[in-house]
Amino acid sequence: MVSLNENIRTLRKKMQWTQDDFAQKLGIKRSLVGAYEEGRAEPRAELLQKMALLFGVTMELLIGADLTKGEVKPRASHQRGNEVVVVTVDTNRRENIEFVPVKASAGYLSGYADPEYVKDLPKFNLPMLKQGTYRAFEIKGDSMLPLMPGSIVVGEYVDRLNDIKSGKTYILVTQHEGIVYKRVFNYLDENGKLFLVSDNRQYAPYQLAGEDILEAWSAKAYISVQFPEVEDKSEASVEQLASVVLDLQKELFQLKSDKQKKP
């Protein structure tokens, strides 16, 4: 069984910090560190997040994995050194999905690695998603039609940019382009760049350097209040469907009428 207090003690020792050192980094009393490591008290979510950042691991690993065995590796990213994605958890210690609306996108570029900023973002959960680290972004513009502006794309955190799969869609948090949602082709090994393509062919493809990317999220789901239109070429039109329903109603009415006429 995973023991949070043992994980905290193990990682502190791996970092070669005394309890006093760790307490100073966390801004708490040394006696609290002792209480956490002995299992006499449990850190709040905000303090757990700070611990995870200091240890260079995710919240998911800190609270859900046995870190007393083997080496603990922080999340790594292309040409950016070792970084950890900031997350929050609910009362059951399940990672939330933080939501970044369009109006918050500019602030996210500077606050994505700040636990205090991420903590204040709207949050929700989607039970159908497997356990992992997810974030939701509202998209703007029509470059990815038929996905409409205002749709919310839920992405799973990508540990390494080199793991990006060509042809799949991703939300990229970038230093110069802001937050973009595109179909991505990976040429990092060849020239250190990604090739970004819009599903709406009216928009020209362009390249983005790997070092310009702050975060990458692999698109896993989307939420929209606008339903896709049925295309006449491949599916029955709305008028045809309405006609079928009307015919069925007539048949039911006729059957009912015939039944009433029988002695």
Task: Check pLDDT > 90 for residue 258.
Answer: no
Looking at residue 101, its pLDDT comes to 96
Residues 50/57, Cβ–Cβ less than 8 Å:
no
Looking at residue 154, its pLDDT comes to 97
Interacting residues of 209 by C-beta distance below 8 A, sequence separation 6+: 192, 193
Task: Read off the pLDDT of residues 3-44 as tens digits, 9 standing for 90 and up.
Answer: 899 999 988 888 889 999 999 989 999 999 999 999 999 898
3-state secondary structure of 147: coil
Percentage of the chain beyond pLDDT 90 is 46
Closest by Cα among 189, 197, 144, 129 to 163: 189
Q: E-assigned strands of 101-241?
A: 123-124, 134-138, 152-157, 168-174, 178-187, 193-197, 206-209, 213-223
Task: Read off the pLDDT of residues 46-92 as tens digits, 9 standing for 90 and up.
Answer: 898 888 888 877 777 788 777 776 544 444 333 333 356 778 887 77
H-helix segments, the chain: 4-14, 19-26, 30-37, 45-55, 59-64, 105-111, 115-119, 188-191, 238-261
Task: Read off the pLDDT of residues 81-130 as tens digits, 9 standing for 90 and up.
Answer: 335 677 888 777 788 999 999 999 999 998 887 777 888 999 999 989 98
CA atoms within 13 A on the CB side of 1: 2
What CA–CA distance (Å, rounded) separates 53 from 25?
A: 11
Residue 184 binned pLDDT confidence (cut-offs 50, 70, 90): very high
What CA–CA distance (Å, rounded) separates 167 from 182?
A: 10
Terminal CA-CA length for the chain:
73
